[in-house]
């Protein structure tokens, strides 16, 4: 599995202690819509990709004090096969049903009705305890507290939802 970064125990990105996985790809849709570079995670593109064994990552998670997994930027949904396979192994092989939080810049509608016709949300709903943070980053907005995540989100259009 290709990643940019792994933080094995984090207390910032979710209301529970979490392992944070930084995914390696993004279409930079936020920059394109704003017409200027606004991506908070763009510096990650300069970091080398890390090829990490999915089983090793899960075992490290299970042996840590983390109580949830957060998948974030660049853009986890642009690495959907790796994301889905990680969750599949976590649930079916390791029987771990802790929260998995996915931070995405896509809208709910984009993930429900993609051009390919295969709903990523439909596929993710087969697993229990999946939470998705939806919405692009829009600069110069007042952060607001999200009850589901237990953290502040940067833009008015962003929100989290437990999808399963």
Residue with structure tokens 């570079």?
37
Q: Edge-to-edge strand order for the sheet containing 99-103?
A: 5-10, 18-22, 68-72, 99-103, 130-134, 159-162
Please report the pLDDT score of residue 86 as a whole number: 98
125-139: burial string, b at 16+ Cβ within 10 Å, e else:
eebebbbbbbbbbee
pTM over 0.75: yes
Least confident of 76-80, 82-86, 94-98, 137-141: 137-141
Per-residue model confidence (pLDDT) at position 30: 81
**Percent of the chain's residues with pLDDT above 90:** 82
Residue 27, pLDDT score: 87
Section 25-51 average pLDDT: 87
Question: What pLDDT does 89 receive?
Answer: 98
Task: pLDDT band for 4, please (50, 70, 90 cuts).
Answer: very high
Average pLDDT over residues 75-87: 97
**Extents of the domains making up the chain:** 2-162
- Indicate the pLDDT class of residue 45, thresholds 50, 70 and 90: confident
Which pLDDT band, with edges at 50, 70 and 90, does 94 fall under?
Answer: very high
In the chain, % of residues over pLDDT 70: 100
């Amino acid at each position: 599995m290709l990643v940019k970064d792994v933080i094995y125990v984090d207390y910032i990105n979710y209301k529970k202690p979490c392992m944070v996985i930084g995914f390696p790809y993004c279409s930079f849709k936020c920059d394109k819509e704003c017409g200027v570079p606004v991506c908070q995670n763009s510096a990650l593109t300069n970091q080398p990709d890390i090829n990490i064994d999915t089983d090793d990552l899960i075992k490290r998670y299970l042996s840590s004090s983390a109580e949830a997994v957060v998948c974030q930027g660049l853009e986890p949904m642009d690495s959907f096969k790796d994301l889905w396979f990680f969750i599949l192994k976590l649930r079916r092989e390791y029987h771990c049903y802790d929260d998995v939080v996915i931070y995405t810049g896509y809208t709910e509608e984009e993930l429900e009705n993609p051009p390919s016709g295969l709903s990523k949300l439909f596929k993710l709903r087969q697993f229990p305890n999946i939470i998705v943070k939806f919405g692009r980053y829009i600069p110069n907005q007042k952060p607001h507290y999200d009850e589901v995540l237990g953290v502040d989100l940067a833009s008015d259009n962003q929100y989290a939802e437990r999808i399963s």
